[in-house]
Structure 1
């Protein structure tokens, strides 16, 4: 039985669990034959919004930096493939171009995303009927992505301009973009970014969360880091493949600069199909799936590991205090 089948054809069972996604002990009761995996919760402690926020910020920032540093060259190749018109050749030099400036944005963006996602998810799980837990994960992912986009988009614009060798350094990129295009130049392609990232974030986190629920049901225990990493890889690769056309559109709009070759999202799509054919919308799908699949493995593995370590440290501190 595959992992998706575990999510959608779960047998009724009850597992006593301390969920590492929240740090709170709770009973997870899985219901049979629901379209989405579901859990019913009986909290032993009141929901701590501040703790969920802090844990999300620290874990998300750590995971984001590790992934970006490890996989930046693959992302650079993907960007250059997508930016190349027609049969243009790809330059494989300077694959870490713009990494420093990008990390300055990735750290707060990842922290904001997970910091918003975790408490939003917990609140929404209470709001939605338990059999529709997937909608809580979808909605929380979109909310987290929207909050993080205010940081992600300028970071992405600068990164991709440097990856396509338009600028030599991040400070120069910011200064010249603002001087030539105005402050709005840092948000070039913002609409296409949201068009890609909101569904991406929602779908990826929903698939990840639902697969974890199904896997826990099958294993009847908490998951280990390699298992979280494997689920994250699958969720990332699948979502990355589905959203590749949206990524191509976003890349073209972001790297066009002041030339304004495209008038907007729909004009960009029409121009690409007319001049390069429909397959051009799948440019870079190989590096993208590889990059996001590996990135999902690292990100979710580091994320769950960091949250678990933080929960353990809090528990140890409480035990030490109670003994004094």
Structure 2
């Protein structure tokens, strides 16, 4: 049940945050391996991107990749939040005195993040490619044409094999290990700190909301470079003319930094935060509330 609760929390939050994920993906692919003065920006920020996408491809284009995104949200959060909740219940995240242990919390949140990355990577690849697909006038990055999630799965398997579903898996695991550690550690310690000061004792929803808002800031700052790398690796697809743009995580980090500068590694941090903050808030609040309801029902 711990895994189902975590999965439902992630899938539910995805419905509301997917438009920002579409914008983030486009901004991160824009100007790929080019200096800022070497390309014309088709998206000049978050609100301009929302407007251009809706105007050119229709408002529903802001929900591109929603099906694999929800599968991703369920798979990732069922493993990550479910595994972490078990660690919390078993007391593996606390000291012998019963206090929160930062080191143990970071270990279990990172471990749960890595496992969730492995489970959800195929959905991440498909989601990113579907979100990047656009009308030629606003297209950025390599374009992949899939007529829905099932068609995408079939085409990736036929052209790239099983390996295609695990493109960028190293970047994903690195991102999730760092991001999950930042998210769940901040979330747990913030809750404990607020409660120790007598805040939100009678308001579990307010407690979860306040803790998750702070957690979202830390996650965005920590994972943005790895998020950019993951999106680039997901979207590059099979080799074109015998060459891949990126050979791996470190090659991708190096090329982005050399060609696009530090700005390139933090592309899309605005929509990344605007996606992560509500997604973190919604998923962790839903997760917290479902756990409370389930525990009360058992009692």
TM-score (norm 2): 0.81
Structure ranking higher in strand proportion = 1
Quote how far apart the aligned CAs of 1:129 are: 6.7
Alignment of 1:71 with 2:47, yes or no, is no
- Distance in 2 separating the partners of 1:246 and 1:288: 12
**Contact 2:129–2:235 (8 Å) recurs in 1:** yes
- Distance in 2 separating the partners of 1:175 and 1:304: 37
The one of 208, 214, 229 equivalent to 1:249 is: 229
Query: 1:89 — aligned with what?
Result: 42
Structure 2 residue matching 1:145: 3-state secondary structure: helix
The one of 99, 116, 120 equivalent to 1:148 is: 116
- Distance in 2 separating the partners of 1:136 and 1:155: 29
Quote how far apart the aligned CAs of 1:109 are: 2.7
| Highest RCO, 1 vs 2 (Cα 8 Å, sep ≥ 6) | 2
The structure with the largest alpha-carbon Rg is 1
- In angstroms, what is the RMSD of aligned CA positions? 1.9
Quote how far apart the aligned CAs of 1:290 are: 1.2
Quote how far apart the aligned CAs of 1:127 are: 6.4
Quote how far apart the aligned CAs of 1:59 are: 2.3
Alignment of 1:103 with 2:70, yes or no, is yes
Which moved further from structure 2: 265-274 or 287-296? 265-274
Query: 1:171 — aligned with what?
Result: 150
Query: 1:281 — aligned with what?
Result: 265
- Distance in 2 separating the partners of 1:224 and 1:107: 23
Structure 2 residue matching 1:261: 3-state secondary structure: coil
Aligned pairs, how many?
261
Alignment of 1:240 with 2:240, yes or no, is no
Matches within 5 A, 1:16-35: none
Alignment of 1:303 with 2:284, yes or no, is no
Query: 1:5 — aligned with what?
Result: none
- Distance in 2 separating the partners of 1:181 and 1:215: 49
Quote how far apart the aligned CAs of 1:200 are: 0.6
The ranges of structure 1 where at least 4 consecutive aligned residues each deviate by more than 3 angstroms after the TM superposition are 125-132
Matches within 5 A, 1:1-324: 54=1, 56-85=2-31, 86=34, 87=39, 88-90=41-43, 92=53, 93=57, 94-121=61-88, 122-125=90-93, 133-165=101-133, 166=144, 167-219=146-198, 221=201, 223-259=203-239, 260-315=244-299
Which moved further from structure 2: 208-217 or 174-183? 174-183
Which moved further from structure 2: 106-115 or 60-69? 106-115
